[in-house]
């Protein structure tokens, strides 16, 4: 089974590339982030024509997550149980589904904006709620993974130049401690380093030629439980999909499972 995660940065803008990539990559399950559309505008039909069912948690032009599957889609949980509110409501940042033999969460962790901003505290509380929500599945016998855009670089090696991030989010001790606590619930990072590149980044800003210069970050992660990690046969960042006109600023992260 081939499972992937991809922040598409607007599924409407990226739809032709998404459909072509699904067809060429042979992906069975795709966790999508930043759909940037309401559920009513989600492209269910084009995906259905390719053989994919879709579970969607999306409410408008910001955020939004989905799970696409051609191997079954059951026991869907939309939203983060126990998750914190922001500006009076829970943002559409999490969705879970069982796809064949595997259960997955697609997550889009809050950005945090600035250290000291209310959104930064919200980010930490959101990660804590995620740890609580996935604990039972993480310790269970079924292959299980949390995939998505975590908006945290786990180590200094996961950013192109750590000194450029002094005083900024994504690299702070508190954010990394929250990720460590999530792993402590029974999960591990199943994408090894290095892969085909010395720095297998997953995100490159559109500005200042960051992609050609490989000034990126590794913030799109796959955290799997022991049965999931033990079934991994291969894992890679599809850096080619970041190239060209109309690309997302994130690349897909792909994991092949022997299940």
DSSP code string of the chain: -EEEEEE-S-HHHHHHHHHHHHHHHT-SEEEEE---SBGGGS-HHHHHHTT-EEEEE-BSSS--EEEEESS--EEEEES-TTPPPBTTB--S-EEEEEETTEEEEEEE-----STTSHHHHHHHHHHHHHHHHHHHHHTSSS-EEEEEE-S--SSGGGBS-GGGGTT-TTS-HHHHHHHHHHHTTT-EE-S-SSSSSSS---EE-SGGGTTTTT-EE--EEEEE-HHHHHTEEEEEE-GGGG-STT--SB--EEEEE--
In the three-class reduction of DSSP (H, G, I as helix; E, B as strand; rest coil), residue 229 is classed as helix
How does pLDDT run across 180-211, given as a tens digit for each residue?
A: 999 999 999 999 765 555 568 999 999 999 99
**pLDDT recorded at residue 243:** 96
**pLDDT recorded at residue 195:** 54
How does pLDDT run across 146-192, given as a tens digit for each residue?
A: 999 999 999 999 999 999 999 999 999 999 999 999 999 999 999 97
Q: What is the mean pLDDT of residues 218-227?
A: 98
Which residue numbers are catalytic? Answer: 108, 149, 250
Tell me the whole-structure pTM to 2 decimals: 0.97
As annotated, the binding site for Mg(2+) includes: 7, 34, 149, 151, 249-250
CATH topology of domain 2-257: Deoxyribonuclease I; Chain A (3.60.10)
């Amino acid at each position: 089974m081939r499972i992937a995660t991809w922040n598409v940065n607007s599924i409407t803008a990226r739809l032709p590339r998404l459909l072509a990539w699904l067809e060429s990559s042979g992906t069975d399950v795709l966790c999508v982030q930043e759909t940037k559309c309401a559920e009513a505008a989600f492209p269910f039909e084009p995906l259905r024509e390719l053989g994919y069912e879709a579970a969607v948690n999306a409410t408008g032009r910001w955020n939004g997550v989905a799970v696409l599957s051609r191997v079954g889609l059951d026991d869907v949980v939309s939203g983060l149980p126990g998750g914190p509110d922001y500006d009076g409501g829970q943002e559409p940042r999490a969705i879970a589904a069982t796809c064949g033999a595997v259960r997955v969460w697609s997550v889009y962790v809050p950005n945090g904006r600035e250290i000291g901003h209310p959104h930064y505290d919200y980010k930490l509380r959101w990660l804590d709620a995620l740890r609580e929500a996935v604990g039972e599945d993480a310790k269970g016998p079924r292959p299980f993974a949390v995939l998505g855009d975590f908006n945290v670089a786990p180590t200094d090696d996961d950013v192109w130049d750590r000194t450029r991030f002094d005083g900024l989010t994504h690299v702070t001790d508190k954010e990394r401690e929250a990720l460590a606590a999530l792993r402590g619930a029974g999960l591990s990072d199943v994408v090894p380093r290095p892969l085909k590149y010395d720095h297998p980044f997953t995100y490159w800003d559109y500005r200042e030629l960051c992609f050609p210069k490989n000034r990126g970050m590794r913030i799109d992660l796959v955290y799997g439980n022991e049965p999931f990690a033990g079934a991994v046969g291969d894992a890679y960042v599809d850096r080619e999909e970041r190239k060209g006109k109309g690309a997302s600023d994130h690349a897909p992260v792909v994991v092949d499972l022997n299940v």
